[in-house]
Structure 1
């Protein structure tokens, strides 16, 4: 395969370089004040072009798969930017995934500079581009973000006047002659440009962050702009929050119904914000009166960019996008915060990788951390012995073999939450990679909503409910490796018990339960939790009346 710039992208690349330099200058300590200033290597923003790779798995053998360096990760397929977008598409950015609850089909939602591409990856070696939703008002931007709530994509961008696009994903079931051009289902215009959107699928609230410019009539700052999306096609303003850290700007966040070790806050809706100079813990249960609970800061912060909680809500993994640029660390580092006390986050561990690239987005699933680290591509870390402060890399896939070291090229984001085990990576310069971890990089131990049954005698697995969404009843299956006492209960968004399906001993094996919603139970998301003496497993179910 060859790599070359596609025609007409030189000007775009210069614009992207200028935007990134400006972002660096605004992010924290002035970059011009750093020793050596801005290096030419940092400014190398090459766009790569590869031919599509489909039809068969390309195994990682002798540390390579096709043209890409790898370890314990196979290449299932690759689609270049030209296949994902249209003639004016020049770069990629964020991505997310959606599993159709009716059909089980898996879809990639791929952010592009000029829109969002929708790709059916159910057959991961033969992905199908179904179509593209253009950016609102046709304006393009390097930055776009997408999340999912109740079968709808929620999309923001730093494009001027973009607001929040809402797209009904069930349209993907009936595309007859792909690719097509889609239209947005609804639009929310109480803000213009936003850097990211965060969704708490259990509460039904979205949080636009990194807001720029005027926010019509709501008066929010650059922090959390809260939106009620429980009826996705009718988004409604819910509240604002700006932290005490720096200028109050939130770059990204992870918002959950908290079930961690801090008993004082269990059942509350908590956001952990990445606020440039530190992490901020916020109680957003009352959208009209959010409360800042705790701040985690460290003296050599470059740019506190993004992070994700472990599934037990004990630890928060945070990346610092610019610490390598500022020379405060020689190798890519990940900071791990202990949130045993939400009012007092403590730095628990600093992990240094073997690479020296900038880090970007990362997500936790079970005992694995999946990182999209620009020029180093996908990195997979084993968190199985986190209690002993042991974190190690068990797999990688380098989506940007053109260069190593610091630079704003390569893997922008990763999506690791498909039940099939398929991993998605969006490379800003190349396109969509469909991957599968192998050997030691496989997911092996899970205890939360998106887990696979571990193949060990002590298995404790609550399978996905079916149907889901449901009305009025859904079926759940619990698999036990050993006989034990189990409590199986359903909880609402505030952590209140709605129903108890079982409380007593169960034999080893598979057990089926049916939850029938009481007549007065309102539509919404609920949590089913199975708890044993030494394990727990959780699933989210959605009642639609």
Structure 2
């Protein structure tokens, strides 16, 4: 049965091949093992020359331009073609603390695009770092200090490192950027997790026959451009996604410990990884009607863990299902409650900010959930922005991920079909 756990990726890949079979857009030579040197502008559409597909549209009467909405205005939307790509995937954000400028870091099938969104009426596409080897519909990125770390489901890709401070002064954008470093002790990799407090990156979803069985690798990035592998954890098999925190929750037995929570396809895995030479499993747990244990995130008090299962909608006919686990006792975690959304769309990545949970919900867009009463087993939807107006059915189209952490209140979304969205609360 373990071999069957890659089924969602296979189904998604077959769908994407069908959906993109008529798309011949390309950029550079993504098959090269060497990133080309920076070039001047002109090889890609200039955002200022009409490549912005949609600008500001307030959410009025349930719509912002062509998109259904409740409580969030559209600031900006740019298709993947503007970045020389066919599909988008992951997204993260970076705020330059020196200049206070805000940047969207958008994963694409053939690289990573960097867009200055400080002024959404005049966004600047600064350029792209090409994939290290081949194209992939799966690319993931996270930020540590002023560096972004990028992995992909591409053979021998490794982990690219890019110094984001280079975005401060880009003459004649857009340009092609080289990576500043590349960690090659992994090859293909589905995701990367970073504990910014401790200065460690945790690539997950690597080759299932590697030293850690596709589990988590421990990479010291305290010297950001010299990543140093210092071990890993293999005992519970393949890890699809994870969160790592320096724990400060109610279980005082683990205060200050570095806790790894892995979404491992058919179970959740809790591991104390404080001692990189000797990680220790705390507990594993399952739940009813497992389709594919996909991704989860702690509440800010580290009391609850909010999980999405990627295939339960298609396997069991649920509306978008979100599971909440009580982690008050890490040695004895319990299923606390289940929330069902208003549509049958597939849930994907979700992130907590205060009393809100921002859920990337594929064809149903991003859903903003009020979790202020989560202890009382109450979650309510307070707003949404639907980037895929065609339908809300359980398909792998629409919003892949969401980044809600800009101090300005801007929310950036990655839509597999329609690229970059920037939205903001109407209030």
Q: Does 1:148 align with 2:136?
A: no
Q: Secondary structure at the match of 1:93?
A: strand
Distance in 2, Cα, partners of 1:80 & 1:237 = 37
Distance in 1, Cα, partners of 2:381 & 2:52 = 28
Q: Does 1:223 align with 2:218?
A: no
Distance in 1, Cα, partners of 2:162 & 2:416 = 23
Asked if structure 2 preserves the Cα contact closer than 8 Å seen for 1:75 and 1:434, the reply is yes
Relative to structure 1, is the Cα distance of residues 214 and 379 closer, same or farther in structure 2, using a 3 angstrom cutoff? same
Structure 1 residue aligned with 2:123, among 123, 127, 131? 127
Asked if structure 2 preserves the Cα contact closer than 8 Å seen for 1:156 and 1:196, the reply is yes
Partner of 2:372: 384
Asked if structure 1 preserves the Cα contact closer than 8 Å seen for 2:58 and 2:426, the reply is no
Deviation readout 1:148-178 (Å, 9 max, x if unpaired): 0120100000011100000000000011211
Partner of 2:160: 165
Structure 1 residue aligned with 2:277, among 288, 291, 295? 288
Partner of 1:236: 228
Q: Secondary structure at the match of 1:27?
A: helix
Asked if structure 2 preserves the Cα contact closer than 8 Å seen for 1:243 and 1:249, the reply is no
Partner of 1:353: 341
Q: Secondary structure at the match of 1:78?
A: strand
Partner of 1:516: none
Q: Any stretches of 5+ residues in structure 1 without a counterpart?
A: 1-23, 32-37, 440-545
Deviation readout 1:348-386 (Å, 9 max, x if unpaired): 010000110111000000000001111111110001111
**TM-score (normalised: structure 1):** 0.70
CA RMSD of aligned residues (A): 2.3
Relative to structure 1, is the Cα distance of residues 108 and 426 closer, same or farther in structure 2, using a 3 angstrom cutoff? same
Distance in 2, Cα, partners of 1:384 & 1:44 = 41
| CA displacement at 1:288 relative to structure 2 | 1.1
Deviation readout 1:487-513 (Å, 9 max, x if unpaired): xxxxxxxxxxxxxxxxxxxxxxxxxxx
Partner of 1:26: 4
Q: Any stretches of 5+ residues in structure 2 without a counterpart?
A: 24-49
Q: How does 1:382-461 map to 2 (within 5 A)?
A: 382-439=370-427
Q: Secondary structure at the match of 1:294?
A: strand
Structure 1 residue aligned with 2:255, among 266, 275, 278? 266
Q: How does 1:534-545 map to 2 (within 5 A)?
A: none
Distance in 2, Cα, partners of 1:70 & 1:81 = 22
Deviation readout 1:123-143 (Å, 9 max, x if unpaired): 133321100000003x10010
Distance in 2, Cα, partners of 1:51 & 1:331 = 36
Partner of 1:275: 264
Asked if structure 2 preserves the Cα contact closer than 8 Å seen for 1:372 and 1:414, the reply is yes
Partner of 1:343: 331
Distance in 1, Cα, partners of 2:330 & 2:77 = 41
Q: How does 1:71-86 map to 2 (within 5 A)?
A: 71-83=70-82, 85-86=83-84
Distance in 2, Cα, partners of 1:292 & 1:76 = 45
Partner of 2:192: 197
Relative to structure 1, is the Cα distance of residues 261 and 45 closer, same or farther in structure 2, using a 3 angstrom cutoff? farther
Distance in 2, Cα, partners of 1:230 & 1:221 = 25
Asked if structure 2 preserves the Cα contact closer than 8 Å seen for 1:295 and 1:344, the reply is no
The structure number with the bigger radius of gyration is 1
Distance in 2, Cα, partners of 1:108 & 1:243 = 36
| CA displacement at 1:26 relative to structure 2 | 2.6
Asked if structure 1 preserves the Cα contact closer than 8 Å seen for 2:258 and 2:272, the reply is yes
Q: Does 1:59 align with 2:58?
A: yes
Partner of 2:296: 307
Q: Secondary structure at the match of 1:384?
A: coil
Q: Which has the higher contact order (CA 8 A, sep 6+)?
A: 2
Deviation readout 1:395-446 (Å, 9 max, x if unpaired): 111111122211111110000011111000000111100000234xxxxxxx
Distance in 1, Cα, partners of 2:207 & 2:426 = 42
**TM-score (normalised: structure 2):** 0.89
Distance in 1, Cα, partners of 2:294 & 2:89 = 15
Distance in 2, Cα, partners of 1:367 & 1:174 = 37
| CA displacement at 1:43 relative to structure 2 | 8.4
Deviation readout 1:464-493 (Å, 9 max, x if unpaired): xxxxxxxxxxxxxxxxxxxxxxxxxxxxxx
Deviation readout 1:74-107 (Å, 9 max, x if unpaired): 0000111111x22xx2111001011111111111
Relative to structure 1, is the Cα distance of residues 43 and 80 closer, same or farther in structure 2, using a 3 angstrom cutoff? closer
Asked if structure 2 preserves the Cα contact closer than 8 Å seen for 1:43 and 1:407, the reply is no
| CA displacement at 1:54 relative to structure 2 | 5.2
Q: Secondary structure at the match of 1:172?
A: helix
| CA displacement at 1:213 relative to structure 2 | 6.0
